[in-house]
Amino acid sequence: MQKGIHLGLIIDGNRRWAKLHNVDTATGYKAGLDKLVETVNALSGKGVECISVYTFSTENEKRPAEEKAQIMALVDYFIENHPSGVKLDFIGNLDRLPEPLKDKILSYKNEDRQYKILLNIMLGYGARQDILSAALSLNDKARDAFENEMAKGRSYEQALEVSKGVFTEENFSKALSTAKLPPLDLVIRYGKVNRLSNFMLYEASYSELYFVDKLWPDATAKEIENIVDGFKSVNRTYGG
């Protein structure tokens, strides 16, 4: 697949949209799912390589059980009925999910060898938790490196220097759950709030950020296409 843009989507506002339209939350979430399908289809073949969509955050655990069940049911439905030509991937703490959904994700195989876009579904995900997990992983590797050097007869100072070498930006990036994804280029957030809400904080350090003053079900594929097209002309200096 040709390299293209990695787009992060924060699809917020489904519950508020349901309340505003005097419908139940399940209808609001379904409207959000329909909008996601529309967006994926619109961006397919338009220079977008990957979409990472914030589906269920660690903070969403605080929501009522009924609402969480509605979200999980829609994720299950989407896995079975996602658009053709779309490769699915999943990131997050799957232990936070119902066992049937967790098992389905772990056993899921993409049937399409040829695909136009990768859709990365983030479930039980939180950037702070992911960063902490990566730091703990590097700490374990540094301890192992130190102990191995000491076992070889190295001095304490030599072993310590080797263990310090584990803590590099490259190794840290590889320890994140997003390591297999392309660099994050662009984040579009819906929901009428201007914040990242614990979404890919490390990865978004040099991403372009767009905050749209709409609830997610009111998004249009055309406006998202326009934002993506506008991004293509951005001169990214990365602080240089």
Give pLDDT tens digits for 186-218: 999 999 999 999 999 999 999 999 999 999 999
Identify the active-site residue in 60, 93, 171, 198: 60
CA distances in angstroms from 135 to 23, 44, 52, listed in the order given:
43, 35, 22
Active site residue 12: yes
Average pLDDT over residues 49-70: 93
Does any domain span residue 135? no
Number of domains in the chain: 1
pLDDT band at 236 (very low <50, low <70, confident <90, very high): confident
Active site residue 171: no
Burial class from Cβ neighbours inside 10 Å (0-12, 13-18, 19+) for residue 15 reads middle
With beta carbons less than 8 A apart as the criterion, state whether 83 and 40 touch. Answer: yes
pLDDT digits (tens, 9 = 90+) for 16-36: 999 999 999 999 999 999 999
Q: Dmax of the chain from CA atoms?
A: 72
pLDDT the model gives residue 8: 98
Does any domain span residue 164? no
pLDDT the model gives residue 1: 41
Does any domain span residue 38? yes
Does any domain span residue 55? yes
Identify the active-site residue in 12, 14, 120, 130: 12
How far is 132 from 197, CA to CA, in rounded Å?
A: 16
pLDDT band at 240 (very low <50, low <70, confident <90, very high): low
- What is the domain extent for residue 88? 5-126+181-231
pLDDT the model gives residue 239: 67
Query: In the beta sheet, which residues pair with residue 118?
Result: 50, 87
Task: With a cut of 60, say whether residue 13 has pLDDT above it.
Answer: yes
204 DSSP assignment:
G
CATH code: domain of residue 121: 3.40.1180.10
How far is 164 from 161, CA to CA, in rounded Å?
A: 5
pLDDT the model gives residue 38: 96
pLDDT the model gives residue 2: 45
SS3 content of the chain, % helix, strand, coil (to 5): 50, 15, 35
Average pLDDT over residues 167-176: 97
With beta carbons less than 8 A apart as the criterion, state whether 98 and 72 touch. Answer: yes
Helix ranges (DSSP H) in 82-213: 99-106, 127-151, 156-164, 169-175
Task: With a cut of 80, say whether residue 49 has pLDDT above it.
Answer: yes
pLDDT band at 112 (very low <50, low <70, confident <90, very high): low
3-class state of residue 54 by DSSP = strand
Does any domain span residue 151? no
Mean of per-residue pLDDT scores for the chain: 93
Average pLDDT over residues 136-156: 97
